[in-house]
Amino acid sequence: MRIRSLRTARGWSLDNLAERAGISPSQLSRIETGHRRLSLDQLAAIAEALGKSLDELVESPDDSDVVIRPERDERRGLTTWLLNKDDGPHGLTVGKMRITDQAGDVSPDDLGVHPGRDWFTVLSGTVVLYLGERVIRVEAGQAASFSTMTPHSLRSDRGPAEILIILNHNGKRSHLGT
């Protein structure tokens, strides 16, 4: 809600707006801080007092509360865009990755291990998943999920591959260095 910002932009105190809207200053204070739900009648009265429509009163001043503008992070044959602002539900991170490191000989030092599970789906190209002793091709439209206690690494096969990946806290730290 934009009540407080609209009120203060006009230089009004809680008392000023409360009087104009026909509610008590303490009610208005609790509404502004989210400690009280407001009825449609109260919302309409506040909107009228501020000279705004209901839509204008409840809209965000910009779209930053909804739209995520991911920043590109490039390193070691991998470009990553984080697609959530903070850790999402259950501490999960959603990211898009563009893998350009080509499949080939992978040394044990290239394989990572961390607690948890990783999940990804291939958006384009083909990913080669090195999982312990196994080499698994995951093609566009397919997904993979595996225990990350098994040594693992991702590479692309014959050209770049893009994936959507969901990582827990340990996976985020291991794969993204954060």
| Angle formed by the axes of helices 25-32 and 40-50, nearest 10° | 100
Among 25-39, 59-73, 154-168, the least confident range: 59-73
| Per-residue pLDDT reduced to its tens digit, 19-35 | 999 999 999 998 888 78
Q: Give me the mean pLDDT over the 48-52 stretch.
A: 91
The confidence score (pLDDT) of residue 40 equals: 87
pLDDT of 178 above 60: no
User: Residue holding tokens 């196994």?
Assistant: 134
| Per-residue pLDDT reduced to its tens digit, 114-130 | 888 899 999 999 999 99
Measured over the CA atoms of residue 158, residue 122, residue 65 and residue 59, the dihedral's sign is positive
CA atoms of 42 and 65, how far apart (whole Å): 24
Containing H/E element for 34? Answer: none
Across 81-95, 96-110, 137-151, which has the greatest mean pLDDT? 137-151
| Per-residue pLDDT reduced to its tens digit, 75-102 | 877 888 888 876 565 678 888 999 998 8
The confidence score (pLDDT) of residue 143 equals: 98
Q: What structural domains and CATH numbers belong to the chain?
A: 3-58 (1.10.260.40), 72-176 (2.60.120.10)
CA atoms of 152 and 102, how far apart (whole Å): 15
The confidence score (pLDDT) of residue 171 equals: 66
In sequence order, the 6+-apart residues with CB closer than 8 A to the CB of 164 are 83, 94, 95, 96, 120, 121, 123
The confidence score (pLDDT) of residue 82 equals: 84
The confidence score (pLDDT) of residue 176 equals: 65
**What 8-state DSSP symbol labels residue 159?**
S
Q: Side chain identity at 153, as an amino acid letter?
A: S
